Amino acid sequence: MAQVFVCSELEMKDGDVRIVRQDRVEVGIYRHAGSYYAYRNLCAHQGGPACEGIIRNKVVDILAPDKSFLGQTYDEDEPHIVCPWHGWEYKLKTGECAPDPKLKLRRHDVVQREGGIYVVI
């Protein structure tokens, strides 16, 4: 295991992602709400670059108390990583596949020190 330098803390703002490649391993590092998350850039579906797509909040149906459908909106508290190949979605905060949490993106630790961001690979 090694700490791999990603960038300085100043270079990443909320919503940003960096892809780090070390030998054959690719990891996506995210900054969201001031915290950092890192996952293997490999979709559980067909091996797509899961961390190279858009981030889109979870879509939710809005139901009335009588269960009538009222419309749809986004859940601002649950951003999803979206694989650009087929649209598989993963929870940014946990790496769990949104429709099936048994499937996960492999998580990597992120270390902040001396103004730099490092990912453990």
Partner 1 sequence: MNVMTPIVRDPNQQKFDTANHLAHAAQQAEDRRYEDFMIVDVDSHHYETGSYKDIFQYIEDPVMRDQFVYTKGQTMMLRSTGGFQEMAGRIARYEYRNSEQAAEGGRHKDITLTLKWMDAMGVDVACVFPTPMLGLGLNPIVEVEVQYARAYNRWLTEHILAAEPRIVSMLYLPMNDPAAALKMVEDFSGRQGVVGFLVTTVRYKPLYSNVYMKLYRALEERGLPIAFHAATNWGDQSMNITNRFIASHALGFTWFNIVHMTNWVVNGVPERFPGLKSIWIESGLAWVPFLMQRLDNEYMMRSSEAPTLKRKPSDYMREMYYTSQPMEMIGNRTMLEETFKMIAADTQLVYASDYPHWDMDLPSTIYDLPFLSLQAKKNILGETARKLFKLDTVLSPQKQARLKARAAA
For 57, the token pair is 């909040």
**53 contributes a contact to partner 1 by CB under 8 A:** yes
> How far apart (Å, rounded) are the C-alpha atoms in residues 100 and 107?
16
> How far apart (Å, rounded) are the C-alpha atoms in residues 110 and 36?
7
**19 contributes a contact to partner 1 by CB under 8 A:** yes
Closer to partner 1 by CB, 61 or 66: give it: 61
Q: Which of 85, 93, 98, 107 binds partner 1 (CB under 8 A)?
A: 85
For 90, the token pair is 């993963």
Q: Which of 36, 38, 39, 48 binds partner 1 (CB under 8 A)?
A: 48
Q: Within positions 98 to 117, which residues make up the interface with partner 1, using CB under 8 A?
A: none
Closer to partner 1 by CB, 20 or 95: give it: 20
CB of 16: closest distance to partner 1 in angstroms?
7
Give the DSSP letter string of 32-81. Answer: ETTEEEEEES--TTT---GGGS-EEEEEEEEE-TT--EEEEEEEEEEEEE
Q: Which of 30, 37, 40, 42 binds partner 1 (CB under 8 A)?
A: 42
> How far apart (Å, rounded) are the C-alpha atoms in residues 74 and 30?
20
In the complex, the residues that contact partner 1 under the rule CB under 8 A are 1-7, 16-22, 24, 42, 46-49, 51-54, 56, 82, 84-87, 118, 120-121
